[in-house]
Amino acid sequence: MKELKVLAVVVFFSLLVYWGVEPFAHGQMHKHVDSDKFAYSDLPEITKEGDAANGGNLVMGAGACLGCHSIESQGMPAPMDAGTAAASYGVNPPDLSNIGALYDEKFLAELIKNPAHALNVEHKFDPAAGKMHPMVAFYGAGGDIDQEVADMVAYFKSIAPKEISPKEAFDNACGRCHAMRYDKYTQLGDIPEFKYEKDALAYQIKVLEYQDHLKKYMGTLPPDLSMIIRARSAHYLETFVENPQTQLAGTSMPRVGLSKEGYEKVEAYLTEIGDPSKPQREAIGPWVLGFFLIFSILAFLWKKHQWRDLH
Amino acid sequence: MAKFDENARPFSEKWLDERLGVVTLKKVLSTEYWIPKDINFLWAMGMVLAATFGLLLISGIFLLMYYKPDAALAFDSVNYTIMTEVGYGWLWRHIHGVGASIVFLIIYIHMFTGIYYGSYKKGREMIWISGMLLFVAFSAEAFSGYMLPWGQMSYWAGMVITNLFSGGSLEAYGLVEWIRGDYVPGDAFLTRFFMLHVLLLPLVIIGLIVLHFGTLRLPHVNNQKGEEIDFEEAAELYKAGKKKESKVIPFNPVFLSKDVFVMGVYFILFFYLVFYHFDFAMDPVNFDPADGLKTPPHIYPEWYFLWSYEILRPFNKDLGLIAFGIAQIALFFLPFIDRSPNVAPAHKRGLFNIWFWVLLVDMIVLTILGKLPPEGIYNDLGLVAAIVFLLLGPALFVITKMEKKI
Amino acid sequence: MKEQGRRDFMGMALGGFTALGGLGALYAMKRSWDPLPSVKAAGFTTIDLSAAQENVLNIEKWRGKPIFVLKKSADMKADDRDVVVGSDRFHVSIGLCTHLGCIPAYLPGEKIFRCACHGGEFDASGHEIFGPPPSPLEIPPFKLEGTTIVLGEEGPEFIKMKDAGLIA
């Protein structure tokens, strides 16, 4: 039928334009980065069997983790508040309660031994030039260092909770540098409710002071992530979090080291805040499309009827 | 004073007809508004456009209820309040965003249909010109609307497009600042483009739509063969019941039934995009808030402006601006450049047929190149495509001058 | 005529089906007009009653409306509408005259509320005693939590008043 031929021509050229301005153009604009599927293949495998009990002793040991980090779930509070910590280190060191469930174990092991390397920020921190990473590397407690590190990782895995909410994952992995204003969340955590404006402003000043330290440490204030799920493609976000340098060479953002499950949690939180209509969209979509399908069928029958005497 | 039937029941058809002329109106506008029978689905694009405009209007009304035209609040009022708080706010925004993009696809199809079938010739010049005015008004509406979410693309598009008004070497930066009401696109710029988008331009568009419909009434709609029809004679045949012999059909309900079917199919596509594939119309980059100190790595206009943007790019500043200016107005003159005596589909018109497909392909090539980074081979291709576009005007004049009467 | 009838049938089927879709669209539009979740979530106000002084009217804000909180002195008549905290009695109401919605002023000397708009008066328990007000000052939904009162939630004391038909 002639009309279908006309339709085919219209569809062909429309799709050609679409292909040109969307998949083709974006393919040309952005270099392709392959996902490593959170395997961290550049980091060495853990060869030793970890002993959680010994790891616990090492973590709690003098001069080890607790000088800077808290382990709230084990009743170990932070040695200083977030603002003071940021003033000293540039950023508030994370709580270690659930890191065993969020991060890749190879990453954790390397982080303990060589933070700048694990975090992929060696371009920023060069001990030879006197620029030390604020996290001090673990030099061993006298025994086999690989065994000790494996023990510590085993300990963190043993104390990690079974279930971590998407928000907790974000809080630990991203939330000390990135705010999330659509969830009323800043680098200091959820913004409390204040009855008096004076108190609200005082809190805001605390946030700004923290952000100033962060700015000095990172070179720029890391962006608010409220809309990031819609501002970047899923593939970009995944590969960027996996290794920021691949997408943005020279960025001061460290490698986060999330495991695949950990990243899925973070992504779920970003979606929940940045694109909360997604479930509703998916629920209503088929109904609307179904409606117009039936509408078209009825309209076709009506048209056929109207036109039946004309030819 | 006309005569009024004292006994007519209030609001009955007779009563209304005596006061408003509804019977005549209905005949003139619908049941005896004659449309040629020899048409295909492309003739439904006008009604599809009207329906899309309706969707844009309705979704726009609901967006307007929570949108805040303020450089400090605009981004969050769209992305937080409307997208997450307002019940079905996301639906209105997706309809509005997808509609704004798709309406141009339909406009282009509608335009190329007109060019292919010679529907701008011999008494139909005003249809073409009013249609082109609508295209310009829609472009302005699209651009002003694109400013409103106040994301990175809004800001930088505002920056680049308003800079065009400096006129190249004329360096009329005073004019640019006057347009912006500021040295850079700021609050004043946002609020005035908000005014344009929600008041002035919609009024202009609605006026132009009425004009565009009006221009159709006397010369009538063209048909697939470009045949000149004696509409009165054909209408008499139809009314006498000789529907097979008559070459016309009434707008309502016969032509409308086909329109509605095409609309139904179109809405399936439209709402598929609204629910599942909105990214192409709502650029991810615009979900980053406007930042006057950071240009995104790639900026490009929405796809429907790409062909004219690409005409600007390959030349130097002044030449580019002149070429861009010519491209903007060239199509207005189509009915006067085309000297051919024939109203016929392109495939019956020899060299014109080639001209038509070259135009279509060239505009698509320009569109695709317009989004690519301006480097290497793309620059050379862009220059060639832009020159081809500029030469198509004189070429049309020569080709149609030689064209013989069929 | 028969032809007309069939045309109408197909056209009407389509029209009816379109109307169905229109209803769906109207529902979405109605939802867009609803108060935002953040507005509803902000519909709770907590007031600490322990610092109140006798016969001094405190005006708080709840859902954009003024709320009267008056600690009763011993000489004021007890009322079923009072909010009782320990041995203290409070009059808590929405501070809008039930006549046409102006805010009445409290006169501590006379221990009454008087509305400047049309002269309506209420006693210290909020009962209308003079002028056009048709009903007592309305009591907002409240819930007692120790010495604080949460407005916007229906606690047992409020439900008891509501069941007794005392809230307005």
With 0.80 as the threshold, say if the pTM is over it: yes
Percent of chain B with pLDDT over 90: 80
pLDDT of residue B341 exceeding 80: yes
One CATH from 1.10.287, 2.60.120, 3.90.220, 3.90.580 for B302-406 = 1.10.287
**Tokens 């279930």, residue located:** A163
Task: Say what the pLDDT of residue C75 is.
Answer: 87
Which CATH superfamily groups domain B33-299?
Cytochrome Bc1 Complex; Chain C (1.20.810.10)
Helices (H) and strands (E) in chain C, counts: 3, 11
- The neighbours of chain B, by the rule of 3 or more Cβ pairs under 8 Å, are A, C
Buried b (16+ CB within 10 A) or exposed e, A2-25: eeeebeeebeebeebbeebbeeeb
Task: Say what the pLDDT of residue C166 is.
Answer: 84
* Cα-based torsion angle of the residue sequence B47, B48, B51, B52 in order, rounded to the nearest 10 degrees: -140
Mutation site for B-interface testing, chosen from A275, A289, A308 by largest number of B Cβ within 10 Å? A289
A102-161 per-position pLDDT tens digit: 999 999 999 998 888 899 988 888 877 778 888 988 887 788 888 999 999 999 999 999
In chain B, residues with a C-beta closer than 8 Å to the C-beta of C7 are: 253
Q: Which residue of A has its CA nearest to B41?
A: A3
Read off the pLDDT of each residue in B307-327 and give the average, rounded to a whole number.
90
- Looking at chain B, the domain(s) classified CATH 1.10.287 span 302-406
CA distance B181 to chain A (A): 29
Mean pLDDT by 10 residues, chain A (311 residues): 93 97 90 87 88 89 83 88 89 92 93 90 82 85 86 93 94 95 95 91 96 93 95 91 89 92 95 94 96 97 90 79
pLDDT values of chain C reduced to their tens digit, one per residue, 168 residues? 344 555 578 889 999 999 999 999 999 999 999 999 988 888 888 888 988 899 999 999 899 899 999 999 888 888 889 999 888 899 999 999 999 999 999 999 999 999 999 999 999 999 999 999 999 999 999 999 888 999 999 999 999 999 988 887
CA distance A295 to chain C (A): 7
Q: Which residue of C has its CA nearest to B87?
A: C32
Do A227 and B243 make contact, defined as CB atoms within 8 angstroms? no
Percent of chain A with pLDDT over 70: 100
Read off the pLDDT of each residue in B271-283 and give the average, rounded to a whole number.
93
Task: Say what the pLDDT of residue C6 is.
Answer: 55
Q: How far apart are CA A253 and CA A120, in angstroms?
A: 9
CA distance A217 to chain B (A): 20
Contact B115, B334 (CB under 8 A): yes
Average model confidence (pLDDT) across chain B: 93
Q: How confident is the model at residue B288 (pLDDT cuts 50, 70, 90)?
A: very high
pLDDT of residue B397 exceeding 60: yes
- Looking at chain B, the domain(s) classified CATH 1.20.810.10 span 33-299
Task: Say what the pLDDT of residue C7 is.
Answer: 53
In chain A, residues with a C-beta closer than 8 Å to the C-beta of B373 are: 28-29
Q: Is A248 in the B-facing interface, judged by CB distances under 8 Å?
A: no
In chain C, residues with a C-beta closer than 8 Å to the C-beta of B61 are: none
The closest of C69, C35, C81 to C150, measured between CA atoms, is C69
Q: How far apart are CA B133 and CA A99, in angstroms?
A: 62
Mutation site for B-interface testing, chosen from C12, C26, C32 by largest number of B Cβ within 10 Å? C32
Q: Is B231 in the A-facing interface, judged by CB distances under 8 Å?
A: no
Task: Say what the pLDDT of residue B351 is.
Answer: 94
Q: Is C10 in the A-facing interface, judged by CB distances under 8 Å?
A: yes
The closest of B371, B385, B376, B356 to B309, measured between CA atoms, is B371
Read off the pLDDT of each residue in B184-201 and give the average, rounded to a whole number.
96
CA distance A268 to chain C (A): 22
ipTM: 0.93
